[in-house]
């Protein structure tokens, strides 16, 4: 049997990104069957129609299958890409707006919104992983792009699944830095350290030479503009924080911004409707430029590159979410971290790294404690554990906030939380 890739959440507007990534790597990744799985078959036909036209345009030999049946998608699959959203954009809107009512940042992957998403998502992805282990090809890989990636991957690896987490933050920064230095992206290697959506670049090596000190000395304003952080903070830290660090370093400012304007969820809902309108055009056979505004820039590059390297065993280095296994001192071996790893047919092997500076390590350790508790809460449906998770979350912390916040988050996600609300 040939190479089979299944995409769970195939009706996502992200899917054309992924299809393009596979199509341009056919020499390294000869896909025989690409299956898009989604319960919303009407939307799946729209997204799948564009995917089919893109494959035809690229001259790909992959056979495209659209299905709402999980068994059809997973049977014999070598790779299962998970990009689902439990509750859809409507539930995301709750995650981003409800926390604001209680004085917390509203965001779909960090803070209380990310916690609510984790509670809904972890059980579903664990169920998919278990079924992949039963139905998939021997040694099948589950590649998780579903947020919150760090928490979902922690849950998967805690239960022994053959899984790797993936985010596009590192590859996005690599592409920006390559453009800044005027070189091909392949010549830029990042020392990316931390957790998913809580990470920093400690080195930017261009042809093996670290250009980060030069960048921070001569162009700190460019780094600040790219990350949304003050120049003084960038200089103080001496690293490049990901843009998600704004939620931690500028919490009050972010809260004011969110209270003034429409949520990201509201903006994405509008973008998605326009994307689906474009996808229906039978003449469209390339991904539209609007897709970049959806938030998945370089997703196709990161995902297809990872799968191609796992398949071919090339041994190149990529940034992924994986067990620490001693890579970052100060964190347990079984903690999932986001770091550079060597990718071969046996999986992702994290590269050894120096210790984190105290100002980075403290935040990482606190966030990891929260992530562990979030996994436990999602799996058990235990309210006490869920409350402890919110107390450990650096963007919540206060007991008087956490108690009513938990009650509201659970109630507003009730339909998707059978562990907390058994029949």
SS (H, E, C) 67-127: ECCHHHHHCCCCEEEECCCCCHHHHHHHHHHHHHHCCCCCCCCCHHHHHHHHHHHHHHHHH
**Structure tokens, 53:** 């036209």
DSSP state of 244: G
Phi-psi region of 299 (alpha: psi -120 to 50; beta: other; left: phi over 0): alpha
Q: Which of 14, 244, 299, 370 is catalytic?
A: 244
Phi-psi region of 347 (alpha: psi -120 to 50; beta: other; left: phi over 0): left
Indicate the SS3 state at residue 234.
helix
- Name the β-bridge partners of 192: 201
Query: Do residues 185 and 226 make contact, with C-beta atoms less than 8 angstroms apart?
Result: no
Q: What is the Cα–Cα distance from 26 to 327, expressed in whole angstroms? A: 33
Distances in Å between the Cα of 15 and the Cα atoms of 9, 47, 190, 291, 297 are 8, 7, 27, 10, 12
In the block, residue with structure tokens 């059809």: 72
Q: In what order do the strands lie in the sheet with 79-82?
A: 63-67, 31-37, 3-8, 79-82, 141-144, 163-165, 316-323, 336-344, 347-350
- Name the β-bridge partners of 3: 31
Q: Which of 366, 326, 381 is nearest to 349 (CA)?
A: 326
Helix 383-392 vs helix 358-380: crossing angle, to nearest 10: 160
Active site residue 244: yes
What radius of gyration, in Å, describes the C-alpha atoms of the chain?
21
Query: Do residues 212 and 203 make contact, with C-beta atoms less than 8 angstroms apart?
Result: yes
Active site residues: 244
């Amino acid at each position: 049997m040939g190479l089979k890739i299944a995409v769970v959440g195939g009706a996502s507007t992200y899917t054309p990104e992924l299809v393009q990534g596979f199509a341009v790597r056919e020499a390294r990744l000869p896909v025989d069957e690409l299956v898009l799985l989604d319960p919303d078959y009407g939307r799946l036909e729209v997204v799948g129609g564009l995917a089919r036209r893109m494959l035809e345009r690229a001259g790909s030999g992959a056979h495209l299958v659209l299905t709402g049946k999980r068994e059809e998608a997973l049977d014999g699959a070598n790779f299962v890409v998970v990009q689902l959203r439990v509750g859809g954009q409507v539930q995301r809107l709750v995650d981003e707006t409800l926390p604001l009512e209680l004085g917390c940042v509203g965001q779909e992957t960090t803070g209380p919104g990310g916690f609510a998403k984790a509670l809904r998502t972890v059980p579903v992805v664990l169920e998919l992983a278990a079924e992949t282990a039963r139905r998939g090809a021997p040694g099948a890989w589950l590649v998780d792009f579903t947020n919150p990636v760090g928490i979902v991957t922690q849950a998967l690896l805690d239960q022994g699944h053959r899984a790797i987490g993936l985010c596009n933050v590192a590859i996005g920064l690599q592409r920006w830095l390559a453009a800044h230095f005027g070189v091909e992206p392949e010549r830029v290697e990042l020392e990316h350290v931390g957790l998913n959506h809580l990470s920093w670049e400690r080195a930017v090596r261009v042809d093996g030479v670290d250009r980060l000190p030069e960048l921070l000395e001569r162009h700190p304003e460019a780094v600040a503009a790219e990350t949304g952080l003050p120049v003084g903070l960038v200089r103080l830290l001496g690293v490049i924080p990901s843009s998600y660090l704004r939620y931690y370093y500028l919490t009050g400012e972010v809260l004011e911004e969110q209270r003034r304007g429409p949520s990201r969820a509201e903006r994405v809902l509008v973008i998605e409707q326009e994307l689906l309108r474009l996808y229906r055009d039978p003449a469209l056979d390339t991904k539209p430029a609007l897709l970049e505004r959806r938030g998945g820039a370089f997703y196709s590059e990161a995902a297809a590159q990872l799968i191609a390297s796992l398949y071919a065993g090339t041994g190149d280095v990529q940034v992924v979410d994986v067990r620490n296994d001693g890579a970052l001192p100060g964190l347990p071996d079984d903690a999932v971290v986001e770091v550079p790893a060597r990718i071969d047919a046996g999986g992702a092997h994290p590269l050894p790294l120096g210790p984190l500076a105290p100002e980075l390590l403290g935040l990482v350790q606190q966030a990891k404690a929260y992530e562990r508790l979030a996994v436990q809460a999602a799996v058990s449906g235990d309210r006490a554990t869920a409350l402890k998770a919110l107390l450990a979350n650096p963007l919540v912390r206060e007991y008087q906030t956490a108690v009513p916040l938990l009650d509201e988050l659970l109630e507003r996600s009730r339909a998707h939380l059978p562990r907390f609300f058994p029949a």
